[in-house]
């Protein structure tokens, strides 16, 4: 395999898909973030924690501009990060993925990774807007969320390897094993310790648009990497000799 070419197409795919993710967030998730942060401000004014002054709003506009513009940059960084993992798994599993071309193979893998690394963990620990979440519990929540993702991902790989030992229709036992195992983990793992205190329509709207935006990343990374792989064929190593 051509190492440089492989690295370049993986990183470019990740950056592009991350850019799509960041821009999609700005378009559909940002209104919910603004609404939630507006509620946080009103709560702080009501409690007397801060005063509703011109100085407050000048400072607020400053850091919100920083946060909003940072969303796209953070999208690219996260895209390159998750894209790197996707590139590793795709390169290692490409020959055994179904599909006649690399775009189809990448879409199938992205679907599997979306379910196991994002959607199932999301069902257990769904995304929350600002106003939800106690700062004191953030480390615990980070450990719970990342642990669940790691357990789900490792289990998916493990049961896939188990399924390869079976023949034909018995391969489904690997999928059944994963579903049974992750269901058990889902029940055993502790709940998010923080209560959802924000209005339900805000939280549900935020979560729905969050899922759409993350899904846009997985679709974009699969299509981009698949197209670049089809075009540049990094698995080939060409040597010339006289």
**Can residue 151 be called a binding residue for another protein (CB under 8 A)?**
no
Candidate list 47, 167, 168, 241; residue touching another protein; CB under 8 A: 241
Give the DSSP per-residue string, 60-125: HHHHHHHHHHHHHHHHHHHHHHHHHHHHHHHHHHGGGS-SSSHHHHHHHHHHHHIIIIIIHHHHHS
How far apart, in whole angstroms, are the C-alpha atoms of residue 35 and residue 153? 34
- Shortest distance, CB of residue 165 to another protein, whole angstroms? 21
How far apart, in whole angstroms, are the C-alpha atoms of residue 119 and residue 117? 7
**Can residue 57 be called a binding residue for another protein (CB under 8 A)?**
no
How far apart, in whole angstroms, are the C-alpha atoms of residue 240 and residue 242? 7
- Burial of residue 201, with CB atoms counted within 10 A of its CB: 0-12 exposed, 13-18 middle, 19 or more buried: exposed
- Binding residues for another protein, rule CB under 8 A, total 61
Closest to another protein by CB, 173 vs 189, is 189
Candidate list 31, 38, 70, 199; residue touching another protein; CB under 8 A: 70
At 127 the three-state DSSP class reads: coil
The interface region with another protein, picked from 4-12, 50-58, 100-108, 161-169 by CB under 8 A, is 4-12
**Can residue 41 be called a binding residue for another protein (CB under 8 A)?**
no
**Can residue 75 be called a binding residue for another protein (CB under 8 A)?**
yes
Nearest alpha-carbon partner for 83 in 194, 173, 8: 8
As given in the structure block, the two tokens for residue 123 are: 């069902």
**Can residue 226 be called a binding residue for another protein (CB under 8 A)?**
no
Residues within window 195-224 making contact with another protein, judged by CB under 8 A: 206, 209-210, 213-214
Q: Applying CB under 8 A, which residues contact another protein? A: 1, 3, 6-7, 10-11, 21-22, 25, 29-30, 33, 63, 66-68, 70-71, 73-75, 77-78, 80-82, 84-85, 87-88, 91-92, 118, 121-122, 125-130, 133, 135, 138, 141-142, 145-146, 206, 209-210, 213-214, 235-242
């Amino acid at each position: 395999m051509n190492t440089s070419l492989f690295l370049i197409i993986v990183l470019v795919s990740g950056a592009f898909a991350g850019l799509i993710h960041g821009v999609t967030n700005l378009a559909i998730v940002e209104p919910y973030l603004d609404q939630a942060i507006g509620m946080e401000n009103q709560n702080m004014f009501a409690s007397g924690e801060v005063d509703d002054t011109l100085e407050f709003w000048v400072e607020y506009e400053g850091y919100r501009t920083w946060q909003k513009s940072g969303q796209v940059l953070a999208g690219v960084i996260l895209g390159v990060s998750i894209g790197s993992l996707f590139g590793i798994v795709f390169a290692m599993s490409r020959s055994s993925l179904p599909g006649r071309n690399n775009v189809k193979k990448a879409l199938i893998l992205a679907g599997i990774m979306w379910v196991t690394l994002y959607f199932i963990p999301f069902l257990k620990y769904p995304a929350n807007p600002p106003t939800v979440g106690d700062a004191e519990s953030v480390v615990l929540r980070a450990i719970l969320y990342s642990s669940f993702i790691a357990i789900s991902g490792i289990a998916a790989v493990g049961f896939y390897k188990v399924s390869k030992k079976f023949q034909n229709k018995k391969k489904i036992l690997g999928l059944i094993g994963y579903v049974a195992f992750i269901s058990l983990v889902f029940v055993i793992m502790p709940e998010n310790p923080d209560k959802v205190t924000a209005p339900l329509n805000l939280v549900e709207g935020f979560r729905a648009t969050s899922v759409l935006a993350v899904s846009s990343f997985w679709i974009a990374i699969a299509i981009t990497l698949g197209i670049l792989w089809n075009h540049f064929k990094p698995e080939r190593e060409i040597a010339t000799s006289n």
